[in-house]
Amino acid sequence: MIRLFAGFSLSLLLVSTALAQTAAPAADGKSLFRTRTCIACHGRDGARAIQNYPELAGQDRVYLFNQMKDIASGTRISGKDERGYPRSQGMKDIMHLVSEAELQQIADYLAVAPAPKPRQPETPLDQAALDKGKAAYTQGGCQSCHGPSGKKPLASYPTIGGMKREYLMLQMAEMRDGIRTNGKSKLMLPFAKKLNNEQIELIATYLSQIER
Ligand code: HEC
Ligand code: HEC
């Protein structure tokens, strides 16, 4: 209760400071998300259908906030090629448009935005692949941190059940290969290192069809 109240008065303070500085109405997370170019890549509700982009709607609030800061600072990188890391660079390039307080508001909004339903891949999935994916997830020890079906992670860890297949594959591979090393990634490394490409694909197939 005290914490709630402290949080409340802090946000009042932030709002009044923002009002004092700009004399404009304080923007909430949703309108910030929609006006700071995020939707060009992530869609209007943080749930755009690009298969290799993350689902943001319904993700853990603290995780979202930390990832945005890490992408902005270049600590989290992705998509290595001869130019650098173009995949994460596109987002890094626009992050000067948002302050840390605004990122917090965006994370607050995204965390409670409704997560979309699983998307069917172009080629229909067979039950055998889903079963194998589930077995690989269990054998990989993933549930100890991400919870059963990737839906009940430890506090501040990401929900991975219901994320997009290609995105999941990319992240697992980049964590395994030591490209994504930001935040708490180190904790997952021993588990990621044991995954071969086939297991990564099976796990991603399975997780992508979980309904949140
Ligand atoms: C140019 C395209 C682009 C823009 C603009 C962009 N992003 Fe991203 N965003 C990405 C990509 C690609 C990734 C995945 C990076 C990776 O694979 O490591 C990402 C990752 C994220 C993540 C981490 C998700 C996770 O599950 O780890 C968050 C949170 C996020 N973006 C929020 C935002 C917000 C908020 C904005 C606007 C201020 C924004 N993005 C603007 C392309 C973009
Ligand atoms: C010891 C705890 C732990 C275990 C076990 C673990 N992970 Fe993770 N995983 C994490 C943490 C922590 C992160 C977020 C890292 C960060 O802070 O950037 C993460 C991130 C991920 C992501 C990226 C999510 C996103 O939105 O970008 C995927 C995918 C993932 N884990 C899959 C798996 C799979 C599959 C397994 C089993 C083979 C596994 N993890 C086992 C802790 C763990």
Q: Is the pLDDT of residue 144 over 70?
A: yes
Rounded to the nearest angstrom, the distance between the alpha carbon of 191 and the centre of ligand 2 is 9
Averaged pLDDT of the chain:
89
- Residue 172 in contact with ligand 2 by CB distance below 6 A: yes
Domain boundaries, the chain: 28-112, 127-208
Euclidean distance between CA atoms 128 and 205, whole angstroms = 11
Residue nearest to atom 16 of ligand 1 (CA): 78
- pLDDT for 2: 47
Q: Is the pLDDT of residue 142 over 90?
A: yes
Q: Which ligand is the nearest neighbour of the Cα of 77?
A: 1
Q: Same fold for the domain at 28-112 and the one at 127-208?
A: yes
pLDDT digits (tens, 9 = 90+) for 83-110: 999 999 999 999 999 999 999 999 999 9
- pLDDT for 116: 87
pLDDT digits (tens, 9 = 90+) for 11-54: 444 444 444 444 344 569 999 999 999 999 999 888 877 889 99
Tokens of 192: 């990621």
- pLDDT for 26: 53
Residues of the chain above pLDDT 90, percent:
78
- Residue 76 in contact with ligand 1 by CB distance below 6 A: yes
Nearest to 171 by CA among 200, 138, 128: 200
Q: Is the pLDDT of residue 9 over 70?
A: no
Closest ligand 2 atom number to CA of residue 204: 35
Domain spanning 127-208: which superfamily?
A: Cytochrome c-like domain (1.10.760.10)
- pLDDT for 57: 94
Residue nearest to atom 23 of ligand 2 (CA): 171
Return the CATH class of domain 28-112: mainly alpha
**What predicted TM-score, i.e. pTM, was given to this entire model?**
0.90
Q: How far is CA 202 from CA 85, 94, 131, 181, 209, in A?
A: 26, 34, 9, 23, 11
